[in-house]
Amino acid sequence: MSIELIIGILEIILIATTPLVFAGIGELVTEKSGVLNLGVEGMMLVGAVTAFVTLVITGSYFLAFFISILSGIVMSGLFAILVLFLMSNQIATGLALTIFGIGLSSMLGKEYIGTPIDGLSPWLFVIFSFVIVFLISYFFYKTKMGLILRAVGESHNSAHALGYSVIKIRFLSILFGGSMCALAGSYISICYAPMWQEGMTAGRGWIALALVVFATWKPERVLIGAYIFGGVTILQMNLQALGLRFPGQFFSMAPYIATIIVLVLISSNRLRIKLSAPASLTIPFYKGR
């Protein structure tokens, strides 16, 4: 194996894994505040299509990413209003957001399928994905705001009693999650596979959700988990291309199996605390109770 080959493999792994890191870290922040948003896939798709369409219309990469992130904020804002103020069920609302996002992105992108664009180099985003993970890690464990956010996710009643605005903190966390998902989507349609195709995220949103559980709600583990998920996929491709016999099907399902194992482990309460699942996850907060 030559050094160029190994560098090539690493490059492909980095490029392929970055969207998982973005979406995963966004969802992690949302979940840490005690809200489960299953709309990741939908927000990614809307982010992907808005970025692509903006780029085609304006020709500006900056505007493309800006509008895309804005779309993520709008999508997740909608979700936030529904679950925080109207107390709708988080699971159902999140699923609805995904279905909505799939449809909306198809509609917005209809005229733009097959429009050729110049892709953007992914490397800036790859670097940013590492930076953001360390920033979030620092934020959670070294800053007061991070502590408050985690407190809201653990026990919203206690946080409320201490005078923190549970709703406001959750709202912002959801918006952050949405904007990161949109960034992941725009990275896919502008850098990773520069095109717009309906449903082009192809389930990466669900992998990102699985990733958060797999990472047991720890930022640096999201990064590690993403690189395990992404790396395994690319490595098995390389082994296949080298002519080695390899069960590719198995690796297509590996992320989900790993996640199910973690889910089984945390279904026991004692472990759940150990594995640091936010105690208030999916539980709605009623002011004054």
The residues that touch another protein, with contacts defined as CB under 8 A, are 5, 8-9, 11-12, 15-16, 19, 99-100, 102-104, 106-107, 109-110, 113-114, 116, 119, 188, 192-195, 197-204, 233-234, 237-238, 240-245, 247-249, 252
CA 28 to chain centre: 8
Residue 200 CB, nearest distance to another protein (Å)? Answer: 5
Shorter beta-carbon distance to another protein: residue 1 or 86: 1
Residue 45 CB, nearest distance to another protein (Å)? Answer: 11
Shorter beta-carbon distance to another protein: residue 93 or 233: 233
As a whole number of angstroms, the distance between CA 46 and CA 25 comes to: 18
Residue 227 CB, nearest distance to another protein (Å)? Answer: 14
Shorter beta-carbon distance to another protein: residue 11 or 167: 11
Q: Select from 284, 228, 281 the least CA-distant residue to 20.
A: 228
Residue 276 CB, nearest distance to another protein (Å)? Answer: 30
Tokens of 218: 């720890």
Shorter beta-carbon distance to another protein: residue 180 or 281: 180
Shorter beta-carbon distance to another protein: residue 72 or 231: 231
Shorter beta-carbon distance to another protein: residue 77 or 194: 194
Residue 146: CA atoms inside 13 Å, Cβ hemisphere, count?
14
52 neighbors 198 (Cβ within 8 angstroms)? no
Residue 79 CB, nearest distance to another protein (Å)? Answer: 17
Residue 93 CB, nearest distance to another protein (Å)? Answer: 16
CA 66 to chain centre: 17
